[in-house]
Structure 1
Amino acid sequence: MTDYGRGPGGEPWHPDDPLPGDGERHWPGGYDGADGTAGSWDPYGAPTPRPWPPQEPYPGQPYPPQAPLSPEQWPPHSAGPAAHAPYPQQGGWDSGAAYPQAPYDPQAPGAGAHPAPAPYDTGGYPDPYGAQAYPPQNAPHPPHGYPGPGEVYPGDAYPDPGAHHPDAAAAPHAAPAADPAPGPDPETGWDPGPDRGESDFFSRRDEDEEPEEHPRSGETSRRSRRGDRPKKRRAGCGCLVAAALVAGGVGGVAWYGYQFYQDRFGPAPDWAGEGSGEVQVEIPEGASLSDMGNLLRELGVVRSHDAFVEAAQSGGGEAIQPGVYTLRSQMSAESALTLLLDPSAANVLIIPEGRRATEIYALVDQALGEPEGTTEEVAANADLGLPDWAGGDVEGFLFPSRYSVGEDTTPEALLTEMVDRAEATFTDLDLAGRAGTIDRSPREVLVIASLIEAEAQQDEEFGRVSRVIHNRLAQDMRLEFDSTINYAMGRSTLETSIEDTQYASPYNTYVEFGLPPGPIDNPGEQAIEAALNPTDGDWLYFVTVREGDTRFTADYDEHLRNVEAFNEAQEAGE
């Protein structure tokens, strides 16, 4: 039987039942084949014994031919011969022309009356088994040749319950008919038996396929009953997508691993070669190597910050001076470092210590490409931010240092930066505070520093020259410095004649007592520090006989001998 209902044939299969041909069958609530007797299956009661023994099929056919019954022989509930037309083909054997039927003969050997089960009341509910009425007991065998209730033919599992009794169609609330069984193979005669869901299991496909015709009944498959859906790519496309995802993931992991290795252990990214074009780079005052690396990377000079820092740390990058440098784009870190250490590559203006203002004006004009005298005119008219104690005199406030010079640099901007640098240095040295401790004003200290800057040559001479100045001022002696006459006369020479010492000028210390009215140059930090802190000594005189040979003394006669040695050196051209 099928999975969809129970027909008028034998009772349903039980898991404990043996297969056909396995010997005795023990049916729950049915017959026991131990004694050869059989009974019809009663769903609500005990089995009804049948008096006749099991019939043996004739060779070559299920049962012997049977003669048609007369109308008087039909059970009372039948509607006549027309109501008992042969059932459709079931169970793998043909009840039609291939096997002619003969009327049932109750007197035939092995024949017996069919005991009819007592009618039962369904209580108003539909008959669960098709509401079919069984023939009365002792009724002749039905003419269609099918087994009676409870009978099973050898070699056949169960009759198809889809073929109901003819009266079942007229019964109220009848169960719907199931799909007909496929039947035996027309060539081999092999019957697979009733379908218990195997065909549905093996014919089941992806739910996303297009609806198709059911192979047996012409119905659309169950996926078509869910509604038409757009056809999707099958497993091949899914495999490609999965492979692409896996490849992408592997590639991402590899890339991340490479980047991690490069960041932790690999060399810093760097360009090769000398680069091309021109890029102006201004290295600010106090910039560290890391600051320089970031600046060069942002301007496209070097490829990475780390490459430049590594090259600078191993190549003396600490010597890089602030200023404007002309570099090139996409240079190697080593090439960039080489140019930054080369003074000729720096677009800077270097103001040496001890230069006069007039000399600085000429340097600025040259650096900015301005006509001669442009910067001097600006200094005379522009507000450069001088302090009040400067008295409007820019001399001494153009602090010696390195200054960046770019395409947009102007003389006024450059002079203002020099004054700002000088004031910052004075503040750092506490010029105003320390000047009071030696009973001098800040301007007087600045003047003394300018004299030291002009006279001293070696580092150890700065403190000694400062001591000579302080000792002479303390004893109200003229300073008698040749540097003051040269400043007054606007020249630079070591030769001072007797006539030069009579030059009329407040800056002529051979004539005037005390300090000159203002600085005679722009001193650096070392000279200012020496003016505030002179070396201890009693020296009143000094003379530089030759370069690197400056002689100090407190004895005037010794001083005259030192002067004679100087004159001899000058005559010898030393």
Structure 2
Amino acid sequence: MTEYGRGSGSEPWHPEDPLFGDGGWRGQQANAGQQSPYDGQAQQQYPQPQYGDWTQGQQPGYDQQQYQYYDEQGQTHYAGQNAGQNQQYAAHTQQQYQQGGWDATGTHGHVPYAPDPGDPYGQQPVAYGGELPDFYGTEDAYPPPQPPGRRRPEPETVPGQGPGPDPETGWDPGEDQGEHAFFAGGGDDEDDDEAESRSGERRGKKPVKSKKRRTGCACMVVVLVFGGGLGGVGYFGYKFYQNRFGAAPDYTGDGTNEAVTVEIPKGAGGWEIGRRLQEAGVVKSADAFVHAQGQIPRGNTLQAGAYLLKKEMSAASAVELMLDPKSQSNVLVKPGERNAEVYQAIDKQLDVAAGTTQKVVKTSYKSLGLPSWVRSDGEVRDPLEGFLFPGTYPAAKGMKPDAILKQMVTEAKSKYAAFDLQAKAKALGMDNAFQLVTVASLVQAEGKTHDDFRKMAEVVYNRLKPTNTETNQLLQFDSTYNYLKGTSNIHISEKEINGNRNPYNTYTHKGLPPGPIGNPGDEAMKAALNPTHDGWIYFVATDGTTNTEFAKTYAEFQQLKDKFNASSGN
């Protein structure tokens, strides 16, 4: 609300205001013989102009309305109100203005401007208080007038509603209107603090706490989120760089005193070996092992088997130790080697009592995965003979004998299945695949070189033929008798051989022995499946070791036998 007559908060009317014609406010003051309050310094109370016959009483043409004002002593004065509308002004004539005390000399009346269609206030009362009386300073005013020296009380806020209109300006943002972000702390913090403090002092209230805390918390959240994002990006960027360009994680030194056995399967490459070493705690990363394997000579020649290593070794130390045979904890099955020798090697490698593995075979050989066509009757000395396929197998302290044997049997079963022994046995005149493995074991035991194997296979098949009149289907192999005896003698007397009637003695029993006499390798098996067809039926190791010669007739055989006796001193 604008306080009329107090000299503050209201802007003076313009001298060219059309409401009063060309004469303006200055002309009226001149006619009235008084000084305009706007020509000098602002005063606390404006003097009331006199307009000729217009007095403080009721005036015609103005709806007979009056308004009151107060001086500083609180006395009431009445003045005619200018409460008419624009249409009423338009009805006044020049004569009416002259009757009101206006001097028309040199001046003439003007018809007020027509209301502007775009002006929303064009049809409203043109003066303050035109429709409603002014209750300022009366008991009906709100707020009631205050005695000198007291401040106006703050308007109370109704719970659930907004604070109401501002007592100074009269502006009410409405109960649904919140503070703009600029006024709610979006501007300068220091300015907000000072404004709040001054407002609190002026209103007689406690200074409002600074909104820095709210703004500071928001800034802190932004910093934390932004910092966390940068940290995440930095971490993943570092990991990407390390994985792509950085050195692989690695230990240093030769490792701790804690030993560990690592089993490397057959066919494992560098990554697989490195992964197993990392899982066992030997190396820190598979990447470091692969890198070291490529840098060290012969690093890529590592074989399958069990290795006795140390924990927390550098990758380079691990590769070098694995190349040392002393670190390998394996059992090697050589082509043609008998099972009895393999059992002894397993016992020694596992550091168990002699004969332990042999006992396991007797009690649990059926659970090791043998093919269904294996013969296991009472004549077969060892049902596993011929099924511990040649190769290197992990065998370290703490492992079980049956676990090692099962690996060997599994390998043999896989190899024999690949050769399709069941179908090939029929084509070669054998009853079953088990007999074909037995032939391969004979070829492996009697042959000395790769070139001998196919000829030796033909000798076996020719001697087994019913049409064989040279040996009458007797194989007459020293290797079968030596297997029976568990020996490897070359010089066996005819008396000794002919006096033994065991089925494994092929000098006294026709046909094949009950089962294999050793573990044939790939070459011997291939030779048994693809023998020569040259008519070989005799052979003699003329030097007693590696030089084997073959003959087709008995006469040729006698010549080879004489050669053997001459070389051996018989």
Q: Provide the TM-score with structure 2 as the length reference.
A: 0.65
Structure 1 residue identity aligned to 2:376: G
**1:269 corresponds to which letter in structure 2?**
P
Check if 1:473 corresponds to 2:464: yes
Identity of aligned residues (%): 33
Structure 1 residues 203 and 113, CA gap change in structure 2 (3 angstroms): farther
For residue 169 of structure 1, give the secondary structure of its aligned residue in structure 2.
Answer: coil
Asked if the contact 2:2/2:10 (under 8 Å) is kept, the reply is no
Alignment of 1:374-523 (within 5 A): 374-385=356-367, 386=370, 387=372, 389-392=374-377, 393=380, 394=382, 395-441=385-431, 442-474=433-465, 475-476=468-469, 477=471, 478-506=474-502, 507-523=504-520
2:541 to 537, 541, 544: 544
Could you tell me how far apart the structure 2 residues matched to 1:450 and 1:173 are?
Answer: 128
Q: Bigger CA drift: 337-346 or 236-245?
A: 236-245
> Quick one: structure 1 residues 289 and 167, their matched pair in 2 at CA, closer, same or farther if it must change by over 3 Å?
closer
Determine whether 1:271 maps to 2:251: yes
Query: What letter corresponds to residue 35 of structure 2 in structure 1?
Result: P
Output the CA distance in 2 between the equivalents of 1:132 and 1:537: 154
Q: Which of 336, 340, 343 is residue 318 of structure 2 equivalent to?
A: 336
Task: Give the distance between the partners of 2:320 and 2:280, measured in 1 at CA.
Answer: 17
Give the superposition deviation at 1:454. 0.8
- Alpha-carbon spacing, 1:212–1:493, altered in 2? closer, same or farther (3 Å): same
- Identify the range of structure 1 (116-125 vs 502-511) with the bigger mean alpha-carbon deviation: 116-125
CA distance in 1, matches of 2:135, 2:388: 130
- CA spacing shift, 1:245–1:388, aligned 2, 3 Å: closer
Structure 2: how far apart are the matches of 1:167 and 1:269? 90
Q: Deviations 1:343-400 (Å, cap 9, x if unpaired)?
A: 4323222222212232223222222222223333333343434546412432323333
What value does the CA root-mean-square deviation take over the aligned residues? 4.9
- Judge which range, 406-415 or 341-350, deviates more: 406-415
Alignment of 1:69-88 (within 5 A): none
Alpha-carbon distance in structure 1 between the residues aligned to 2:506 and 2:276: 51
Q: CA deviation at 1:435?
A: 0.5
CA distance in 1, matches of 2:214, 2:148: 33
Q: Secondary structure at the match of 1:542?
A: strand
Amino acid at match of 1:410: K
CA distance in 1, matches of 2:487, 2:569: 21
Give, in whole Å, the separation in 2 of the partners of 1:398 and 1:36: 132
The partner residue of 2:285 within 297, 304, 313 is 304
Give the conservation status (yes or no) of the 8 Å contact 2:373–2:434.
no
SS of the counterpart of 2:366?
coil
The question of whether the paired residues in 2 share the 8 Å contact of 1:132 and 1:168 is answered with: no
Structure 1 segments unaligned to the other structure (5+ residues): 18-24, 40-48, 64-90, 96-103, 105-109, 139-160, 182-194
Which SS does the other structure have where 1:281 is aligned?
Answer: strand
Contact 2:283 2:318 in 1 (8 A): yes
Equivalence for 2:264 = 283
Partner of 2:339: 357
Cα 1:167–1:388, aligned 2, differ >3 Å: closer, same or farther? closer
Number of matched residues?
462
2:330 and 2:338 map into 1 onto residues whose CA distance is 19
Give deviations 1:220-262, integer Å, cap 9, x for gaps: 48x85xxxx7965376776666556555444433332222222
Measured after TM superposition, the shift of residue 436 of structure 1 is 0.9
Residue deviations 1:101-123 (CA, integer Å, cap 9, x gap): xxx9xxxxx99989546555598
CA–CA separation in structure 2 for the residues paired with 1:261 and 1:301: 25
Structure 1 segment 123-272 matched on structure 2, within 5 A: 133-134=78-79, 168-170=136-138, 172-173=140-141, 212=197, 214=199, 217-220=202-205, 224=208, 233=213, 246-272=226-252
Q: 2:275 aligns with which of 272, 289, 294?
A: 294
Tell me, what secondary structure is at the counterpart of 2:542? strand
Paired amino acid for 1:301: V
More displaced stretch, 485-494 vs 429-438: 485-494
Following the alignment from structure 2 to structure 1, what is the Cα–Cα distance between the partners of residues 540 and 147? 135
Could you tell me how far apart the structure 2 residues matched to 1:216 and 1:487 are?
Answer: 117
- Tell me, what secondary structure is at the counterpart of 1:324? strand
Determine if contact 1:364/1:375 at 8 Å carries over to the other structure.
Answer: yes
Q: Choose 462-471 or 483-492, whichever is displaced more.
A: 483-492
- SS for the counterpart of 1:271 is coil
Q: What is the match of residue 5 of structure 1?
A: 2
Q: Of the candidates 522, 527, 535, which is equivalent to residue 525 of structure 1?
A: 522
Question: How far apart, in 2, do the equivalents of 1:248 and 1:234 lie?
Answer: 21
Whether contact under 8 Å (2:439, 2:528) holds in the other structure is yes
Question: Relative contact order, CA 8 A, sep 6+: which one is greater?
Answer: 1
Alignment deviations for residues 392-424 of structure 1 (CA, whole Å, 9 cap, x no partner): 432323333333224443334444444444333
2:344 corresponds to which letter in structure 1? Answer: A
Q: What is the distance in 2 between the residues matched to 1:307 and 1:180? A: 92
Greater share of helix residues, 1 or 2? 2
Q: Could you say what secondary structure the match of 2:275 adopts?
A: helix
Summarize the Cα distance change of 1:519–1:116 in structure 2 as closer, same or farther, 3 Å threshold: same
Does residue 366 in structure 1 map to residue 348 in structure 2? yes
